[in-house]
Structure 1
Amino acid sequence: MSEAVVAKRYAEALFQLGTEKSTLDNLKEEASVLQEVFARNKKILTFLTHPRVKSDKKNQIITEVFQGFSGDMVNTMKLLVERNRVELLPSIVDHFIDLSNEAKGISEATVYSVQALSGDEILKLEQTFAKRFQKKAIKLINKVDPSIIGGIKLRIGNTIYDGSISGKLKRIERSIVTANK
């Protein structure tokens, strides 16, 4: 069975547990923290997946480092240690957050701009695109990308809305090339 399928199954089980216990919002917050922890500190995942470190030591570290987390999240991490599946944790967390957002009608998107957008600009974009996609809300993550020259580019799922100057220039270039053939 592929690792993606296994990660989805663990995420679905955690989602189902959170739904049954009405702790989905809390678990989603913890999952977001885990996502950030693994993105910023690669050493923790290396430690948890290292074959020479005993499971007892890994579980002890999980208990100490994540002591403010719910029992369900900590037990999920310990279960992954026990089954030698800790390397799937970042993928499980990503799938879990997607499931939680989908259940609440929320989508996550990335907006690329030349400079960081203000909170007000992000809020207006979130409202505009939430209506367009018929979602309750859209959570935007702003990434600065000077290569777009100006305007914005928004990626939501597999869809990209390109309102950047560099995108417009590329479209003009393509139309000129196809017109000259």
Structure 2
Amino acid sequence: MNFRGASAEAFDALTRAIDGTLDQADDAAQVGADLFSVAEVLRDEPALRRIATDVSVDAAAKAGLVKELFTGKVSAPVVALLGDAVVRRWTLPRDLPRALEELGVVATVKSSGDDATRLSAELFTVGQVFQANPDLRSALSDPARSTKDKRELVHGLLAGKTLPATIALVDQALTGTHRTVSVALDSYQQTAAAANGRTVATVTVAKPLSDADLDRITAALGREYDREIQANVVIDPAVIGGVKVEIGHEVIDGTVANRLDGVRRKLAV
């Protein structure tokens, strides 16, 4: 998640503070749920959001306000983190709930413990399922359906098949804070991979790769980017052959389809 100016500094500081919050809490998953709920309140209450981010309001008064509002509703470590958040400077009022949501994602990812790699892979798989099923995608993006109804639909599909953290993050993706559910899941997947010290690469090929080929590609990317790579493989017969790799905003397209497009463009000149 990208922030500018003062918000970037505030978010960096809170990101460093979240581990202390989790150390004080009994349940990392609950910290994530609490942060999601506070972010939702701040989105739904513009007056509260403005006060919480107004630099002209006394910092101690703002910290006291959030303590009064949220004590007993969220865990004590989260109340303390909120007090830290509201005394910081924010470039835009909406950046505060955005930052709290992202911290909620971090807490939820950390609740998965050693299963962070599995969590990232499950988020990718769920995203692929949504993309491949237009009816399901339409149901989840239908504004006439309540978030509760959408969550019940997803729980019916995922319960007992994925980590609890996966379901929690899919639930959050359904709240509409990102442009689409798929965009939200992609963002959460990146966070999950980063928590395990990895970077996500999407590898598109015409047919399934052998384990040896996937290991070779992953190792080569790891050497190129000097970090561990988590490769998500997408099968797309339209690429014909070769490999297309996407890491962040970088694209390495070595597919036959891309080379043919290049030839067509030259012939059209």
Secondary structure class of the residue paired with 1:108? strand
Q: Kindly report which structure 2 residues correspond to 1:39-50, keeping only aligned pairs within 5 A, or say none.
A: 39-50=131-142
Deviation at 1:38, TM superposition (A): 0.9
Matched with 1:128 is: 220
Gaps of 5+ in 1: 175-181
What's the TM-score, normalizing by structure 1? 0.61
CA positional deviation for 1:13: 1.9
Amino acid at match of 1:53: R
Q: Does 1:24 align with 2:123?
A: no
**What's 1:107 paired with?**
199
Between the two proteins, the alignment pairs up a number of residues equal to 167
Match of 2:152 among 49, 52, 60: 60
Work out whether residues 109 and 116 of structure 2, in 8 Å CA contact, stay in contact via their aligned partners in 1.
Answer: yes
Identity of matched residues, %: 14
Query: How far apart, CA to CA, are the structure 1 residues paired with 2:157 and 2:129?
Result: 11
Give the CA RMSD over aligned residues: 4.3
Bigger Cα displacement from structure 2, 136-145 vs 123-132: 136-145
1:31 deviates by 1.4
SS at structure 2 position matched to 1:51: coil
Confirm or deny: 8 A CA contact 2:198 2:228 kept in the other structure: yes
Shift of 1:94: 0.3
Question: What's the offset of the Cα at 1:136?
Answer: 2.4
One-letter amino acid matched to 1:93: L
Q: Which has the higher contact order (CA 8 A, sep 6+)?
A: 1
Cα offset, 1:27, TM superposition? 3.2
Which runs of structure 2 are paired with 1:73-152 in the superposition (5 Å)? 73-78=166-171, 83=175, 85=177, 88-111=180-203, 118-139=210-231, 141=233, 145-146=239-240
Tell me which protein shows more strand as a share of its residues: 1
How far did 1:152 drift?
5.3
Which segments of 5 or more consecutive residues in structure 2 lack a partner in the other structure? 1-91
- Given that 1:108 and 1:139 are in contact with CA atoms closer than 8 Å, whether structure 2 keeps it comes out as yes
